[in-house]
Amino acid sequence: MNKIWRLGFVLVLCIGALMPVWNVSHAQDDDSRFTPEQRELIDTLNQAFTNVANLSAIRYVQTQTLNQLVSATDQPEVGEIITNLVQQIDSVVVFEEGDDFTSPSRVSQTIEQTLSVSGGGIGDQTIEQVLDVIYVDGTFYARINQISPSEDYGFPEGWFNWTENPAALPGVEVFNLEQLFSLSSIIPSAEIAEVAFEDVRLVDEYEEDGQTFQVIEVVWDVEELYKNALFGLNQALNLEALGISTEEFLPLFIEGSSFVYRVTINTTTMLPVSITSELTSSIELPAEVFGTPLTLEQTVINETQFIEVEEVPEIEPPVIEEEAQAEQ
C-alpha cells in the first residue's frame, strides 16, 4: 500500500507543476466555439502571460494543498489511507534574450513541504522538508535544506546534479525531470487551449488604487486537456518504477477529475496577479492497475501569486562539493 500514497504525492507535484503557467493564443478557424465576449477574455489572458516574458524576471509563490483518501474496497483490514500535503513553492524565473515565458533559461525554487499520512496499516507519519532547486540551461541541481524528523533517509549532503542522478531523492525516480520541466513551461500550448477550454467567463471586475482588475474563470475539458496537452505526462512520469501501468492509470485519473482555474489580471498593466485552481478527483481503480480494487478521492487546491522583480537576480549553477574538492 506504500506505493499508493506515494503515487498520490507524485501526482500532486506533477499536476501542481502545470497550474501556474499559461500560453493561450488561439487558432482562428473555430471562432464559433466562443462568443465575442469570451474571445476578449481569452485574448486578455493571452496578452497578460505573454507580457510576463518582457519583464526579464518574475517571482511567483504557490501554495498547494492536497487532501486525499484511498481505500481498498476488498481489504477492510487495510482500511483507509489519508494523505494531507501542504507545500509552498517560491520561484524566481529569469528570461534571457530569445526566451519567452514557455522556456526560461534559469529558475530558482525553494519548496517547503509537510506531508502527513495515516491509516492503511502504516501508522501515522509526518515529514517536513525544505528542498532547494536550481535550473540553469537544461540542468537541474537540488539540495535537501531541512528535513524533519531528523532521520537518515540516505539523501545526498549539499548540492548535487539532479539531472544526472534523479534517484538521489527516493520517490523522484518516477520523474523524467527534463520532460516535467517542459510540461510545466508550455501547458497549455496555443492550439491546446482552443479545444480544452470548456467554458470561459468573467466572474468579477473591480478597481483598486487607480488600477482595474478582471477575474476570469476557466473550466477545463479534462479529457481534451489530457488527450491534447497532457500526452507528455506519459513521458514525464515513470510510474512503472512503482509497479503501476501509466497507460492504465492516467485515463481513469483524467476521466474522474475536474479542473477549474480562476485568474486575476491587472488590466491596467496587463499582467497576471494570481491564479487559484482546483483539481478534484473521484476514481474507482480496478485490480488490474494496483493489484487490488481501490477508491481514490482527492482535492488539490493551488494558489499562485505573481510578484514583479525589481532587480534581476543572478542564478548560477551551485558549487558541488566533489567538484570543489577536485579543483583544489
In tens, the pLDDT along 249-262 reads 778 877 888 889 89
Residue 145 has pLDDT above 80, yes or no: yes
pLDDT average, residue stretch 41-45: 88
Residue 319's alpha-carbon distances to 134, 275, 323, 324, 325, in angstroms, are 11, 35, 7, 7, 10
Strand runs labelled E in the chain: 57-72, 80-94, 106-119, 125-136, 139-148, 160-161, 197-208, 211-220, 257-266, 271-285, 294-308
Higher pLDDT, 108 or 326: 108
Q: What is the pLDDT at residue 302?
A: 86
pLDDT average, residue stretch 214-227: 83
Q: Which of 38-42, 83-87, 93-97, 320-324 is the least confident region? A: 320-324
Residue 325 has pLDDT above 70, yes or no: no
Residue 46's alpha-carbon distances to 161, 251, 270, in angstroms, are 35, 29, 10
Q: Is residue 110 in some structural domain?
A: yes
End-to-end CA distance of the chain: 48
User: Range of 234's domain?
Assistant: 2-23+57-196+221-257+277-307+315-327
Residue 1 has pLDDT above 50, yes or no: no
Beta bridge partners of 206: 213
Q: Is residue 322 in some structural domain?
A: yes
Cis check: omega of the bond before 313, within 30 degrees of 0: no
Residue 282 has pLDDT above 60, yes or no: yes
- 208 pLDDT tier (thresholds 50, 70, 90): very high
Task: Indicate the number of domains in the chain.
Answer: 1
pLDDT average, residue stretch 157-162: 90
Residue 326 has pLDDT above 50, yes or no: no
Strand runs labelled E in 209-251: 211-220
pLDDT tens column, 299-318: 989 898 988 888 888 999 99
Q: What is the pLDDT at residue 121?
A: 63
Residue 231 has pLDDT above 60, yes or no: no
Q: What is the pLDDT at residue 250?
A: 74
Residue 238 has pLDDT above 60, yes or no: no
Q: Is residue 130 in some structural domain?
A: yes
Q: What angle do CA 101, 268, 35 make, to 5 degrees?
A: 75
Q: What is d(CA 229, CA 122) in angstroms, rounded to the nearest whole number?
A: 36
Q: Name which of 264, 261, 272 is nearest 206 in CA terms.
A: 264
Q: Is residue 75 in some structural domain?
A: yes
Beta bridge partners of 257: 281
CA trace torsion 70, 75, 78, 83 (10° rounding): 0
Q: What is the pLDDT at residue 114?
A: 87
Q: What is the pLDDT at residue 77?
A: 62
Q: What is the pLDDT at residue 93?
A: 84
Q: Is residue 136 in some structural domain?
A: yes
pLDDT tens column, 49-90: 778 767 888 888 889 888 888 887 676 666 788 888 888 889
Q: Is residue 175 in some structural domain?
A: yes
Which grid coordinates are listed for 275? Answer: 491564479
pLDDT tens column, 172-194: 554 555 555 543 443 344 455 66
Q: Is residue 186 in some structural domain?
A: yes
- 200 pLDDT tier (thresholds 50, 70, 90): very high
pLDDT average, residue stretch 262-290: 88
Q: Is residue 35 in some structural domain?
A: no
Strand runs labelled E in 149-250: 160-161, 197-208, 211-220
Return mean pLDDT, the chain: 76
Q: Residue 207: what residue type?
A: E
pLDDT average, residue stretch 214-235: 72
Cis check: omega of the bond before 149, within 30 degrees of 0: yes
Residue 209 has pLDDT above 90, yes or no: yes
- 17 pLDDT tier (thresholds 50, 70, 90): very low
Q: Which of 8-22, 29-43, 62-76 is the least confident region? A: 8-22
